[in-house]
Structure 1
Amino acid sequence: MKFTDNLNLDEIFHCALSASEQGDHAQAIILLKECIQKEERAVYYYMLAAEHAEIGLYQYAIEEMKIALEKDPNLWIAKFQLSLLYLTTSEIEEAATVWLELKESNATDYLKLFAEGLLLLQEENISLGIEKLELGIEANNENKPLNGDIENIIQTVTENNIREEQQNLKDESEVLLESKLNKDSAINKIFISKYQQDSNEN
């Protein structure tokens, strides 16, 4: 006899949420699957996708997030999380498609700002993209953990942008130095040639 045999569906779901909060992903997954066996709700698939993402099973998470959206197309947070899963698995075109759909949807303002910001980043409009993401963070008062994810993206993009600028400066310096060395080399060849001519004449 399982301990859940005497629990109703809502009780099992709340036990799953509790297990998730405590970091017991295995127990959360077991309980969420039991919820789905009893009734296939969008929120159960959404939470199951989140648990699989937590343990690195991203393809499982993507498929479950898609099912959640099939059952509730207006579960906008699931749509946005799907885009982040695509981003994690380097499926950039799929992520961009979701961001565009979100931007033009009836989703909450902060999700639309996040989607717009990520689209701009994908188009390499870094400064405006970060500005939109920061506006989204300011507008988001209902999902603080998501703000943390967006802040991590901003930090990563900023650091990568700084490294890229430094590399570009380094590359430009190397090109200038190489050009100078090549000129010196050519000049040296002229002097050597002239020296050899002078030596032969002597």
Structure 2
Amino acid sequence: MLNQKLEIMVEYAKTFESFQWMPIQDKVLLLRDVAFVLILLETAYKKSISKCTSVLNHRNQREKQSIEENIGISVIIESFNRAKLDKKEFLLLKAIAFMHSECSGLSTNSFKQLSCQRQIILDTLFNYMIFKHDKHGPVRFGHALSVLWSVYEATNSYVESLMDMDLKPLTIELLANKLPEPLT
């Protein structure tokens, strides 16, 4: 399931002209940096439009999640519910999340390209919201960006949790187990 989501994300990335012209190293850095953000964003949006707050695994079973995980995804879903984004607004927000020029290690040229593209998409989202929501457009734009902020916060929280994990016991256990003998 995760591999399929990553494959879809790579195909999504290929639709952006700026991504097509990036050096391979920058492509890898960008995809690594935005993968979890885009997966969380997509999952939370789908859950918000289905009015479901639980996350199901690939077998359609409710995932056993820690309190922190439930809070993280629940906050994002709640942000989507409050923002009431339509499909176009969501797709523009997703593109903004993808154009993450602050990604560490990008070449100067890729940074500039992503920054310019992101600004164009931000302007497009703002103009769309002004057109669609008239005087409420700027507030709706702020709500949309707050959804993205919630996703970044949850992502950072998950990454910090992973970094704090003590993997030494697990690594020792895995290394101590005898691997099956190859068939001859």
In the superposition, the TM-score normalised over structure 2's length comes to 0.29
Whichever structure has more helix as a proportion of its residues is 1
Quick check: which has more Rg, 1 or 2?
A: 1
Q: Name the structure, 1 or 2, with higher relative contact order (CA <8 Å, separation 6+).
A: 2
